[in-house]
Amino acid sequence: MAQQSSDLTTSLTQIGQANLSGDKRALYLKLFSGEMFKGFQHNAIARDLIMKRTLKNGKSLQFIYTGRTKAEYHTPGNAILGNTDGAPPVAEKTITVDDLLISSAFVYDLDETLSHYDLRSEISRKIGYALAEKYDRLIFRAIARGARAASPVSATGFVEPGGTQIRVGSSSNESDAFSSSALVSAFYDAAAAMDEKGISSDGRCAVLNPRQFYELVQAVGSNGLVNRDAQGTALQGGNGIIEIAGIHIYKSMNIPFLGKYGTKYAGTTGQVSPGNTGDFIGPSLEDASGASTGINNDYGTASEFGAVSAGLIFQREAAGCVEAIGPQVQVTSGDVSVIYQGDVILGRLAMGADYINPAAAVELYVGGTAPSAF
C-alpha cells in the first residue's frame, strides 16, 4: 500500500504547468488574461463602430479630412491644372493618447487557497468591465461633442456641413426620450440629415439607453421595424429590432443620458423607479476636459453635457480612436509575490478619442433648447 501511495504521488498531473516543467502555476496566468480580454470585448461596443488606429513611436495621430470639390467645364486650349478654386480644401484632426488607464487588484495567496471559487477569473472579468466602461464613455462623449461642432474645413468660400442635433418629441418633458413614436421620427430625421450631408449609409448605427431600446421592442412591433424572423424569446430579448432607416441599434449604459450615464430616474417625468431596497440612478457624468488629470483630449465637463442629451446616431467616420497600448494584462511574480504573499493583477490600456467628421454625428436631445458646442 505504501508503494502504491508513492506511485500516485509521483504521477500527479500538474495542470497549471507548461510542458511538465517550470512554474506549476504558469498556465493559470494565461487563464486570467483570457478572462480579462473576454470581459473587455463583451462590454466595449464602441471600439468597432468608429475609426480605430494603432499608434507607435508617437504621442498623437493625424486624421485628414477632405472637403468637397466641384465639376467645371473645360475651355478648349486651356491647360488643365486643377480646379480654379483650388478645391478640395483639406483640414486635419489630431488625436492625442491620454495617460495610461489602469484597473488593478491585489490577490492574497491565502484567500485563493481558502476560496471555493476561481478568484482570479472573477476579478479579471471585473477589470475588463472597468476598462471597457471607460473606453466606451470617452468615445461616446467625443461623438456627442462632434454632433455639436462645425466642420473642420473652414476655408473661405467653402461650406462644409457640421454636426446634427435632433429634438425627440415636442414637449419639454424628459419622458419624450422614451416615446417610441418620437424616437422613430428622430431616426428618420437623422437618416435624412446624413443623406443630405453626403454621409455614407454604410456603418450607420445608434446607441440608446436600454429603456429606450426596450420601449421600441414593446411598442413598434406592428410597423415593420421588428425583424419578422425573430420571434418568442429572441424578440423579447431585444433581438427583434435590427434597424430603423438603415441605422443599426445598440443599447449601452455608457452614453451621456439626461445628465448621467445610461439612465436617470430622479425627476424624470413618466419614468418609474425600479424600486427594491435601493434605486439605481446611475453615475453622474464626471469632468473629462483637457484640464482633468490624465486627459489629453477634451471630452467635456459634466456641465457642458447638461441634462438633455438622449441618445446618439452616427456613422463610423464620426469619431476616431488611437491606441498606443491595447488591452493588456500584467501580473507580478517571483520575489515580489514572495514578499507580499500575493499577486497584483493589472489591466491596462492607453487610448485617446475625438470626433473626426461632425457631419457623421447626430445627438438626440429633449427639451426646448439644444445643448451647446464646446
Please say whether the dihedral angle defined by the alpha carbons of residues 52, 54, 58 and 63, taken in this order, is positive or negative: negative
According to the model, what pLDDT value does residue 272 have? 57
What is the spatial distance between Cα 187 and Cα 245, in angstroms, rounded to a whole number?
7
Query: Shortest CA distance to 112 belongs to which of 104, 103, 121?
Result: 121
What is the spatial distance between Cα 135 and Cα 233, in angstroms, rounded to a whole number?
31
What is the spatial distance between Cα 346 and Cα 349, in angstroms, rounded to a whole number?
10
More confident residue, 239 or 180: 180
pLDDT 10s digits, 133-183? 999 999 999 999 999 999 888 877 778 899 999 999 988 888 899 888 899
pLDDT 10s digits, 67-92? 777 787 888 988 888 777 777 878 78
Q: Is 131's pLDDT higher than 60? A: yes
CB 194 within 8 A of CB 318: no
Q: Which three cell numbers stand for residue 58?
A: 508617437
Helix H, strand E, coil C: the string for 227-259 is: CCCCCCHHHHHHHCECEECCEEEEECCCCEECC
pLDDT 10s digits, 319-371? 999 999 988 888 888 887 888 888 888 899 999 999 999 999 999 999 889 99
Q: Phi then psi for 66, rounded to 5 degrees?
A: -110, 125
Residue with cell string 476598462? 131
What is the spatial distance between Cα 263 and Cα 15, in angstroms, rounded to a whole number?
45
According to the model, what pLDDT value does residue 355 have? 95
Alpha carbons within 13 angstroms on the beta-carbon side of residue 227 total 18
Torsion of CA 325, 261, 263, 224, to 10 degrees: -50
According to the model, what pLDDT value does residue 116 have? 59
Share of the chain above pLDDT 90, in %: 37
What is the spatial distance between Cα 239 and Cα 231, in angstroms, rounded to a whole number?
9
Q: Is 252's pLDDT higher than 60? A: yes
Q: Is 313's pLDDT higher than 60? A: yes
- Work out the pLDDT band at 9, boundaries 50, 70, 90: very low
What is the spatial distance between Cα 52 and Cα 354, in angstroms, rounded to a whole number?
11
Q: Mapping DSSP to helix (H, G, I), strand (E, B) and coil, where does residue 108 land?
A: strand
More confident residue, 172 or 202: 202
More confident residue, 235 or 97: 97
Report the run of H or E that residue 187 belongs to, with start and end: helix 180-196
Q: Against a cut of 0.85, is the pTM above it?
A: no
Q: What is the mean pLDDT of the chain?
A: 82
Number of residues that make up the chain: 374
Mean pLDDT is lowest, of 5-19, 95-109, 329-343, for 5-19
CB 152 within 8 A of CB 63: no
What is the spatial distance between Cα 285 and Cα 373, in angstroms, rounded to a whole number?
17
Amino acid at 237: G
Residue with cell string 468597432? 48
According to the model, what pLDDT value does residue 68 have? 76
CB 261 within 8 A of CB 299: no
What is the spatial distance between Cα 102 and Cα 62, in angstroms, rounded to a whole number?
25
**DSSP state, residue 280:** -
CA 212 to mean position of chain CA atoms: 18
Mean pLDDT is lowest, of 65-74, 212-221, 238-247, 344-353, for 238-247
According to the model, what pLDDT value does residue 8 have? 43
According to the model, what pLDDT value does residue 57 have? 82
pLDDT 10s digits, 261-301? 887 764 455 555 666 555 566 778 999 998 999 999 999 99
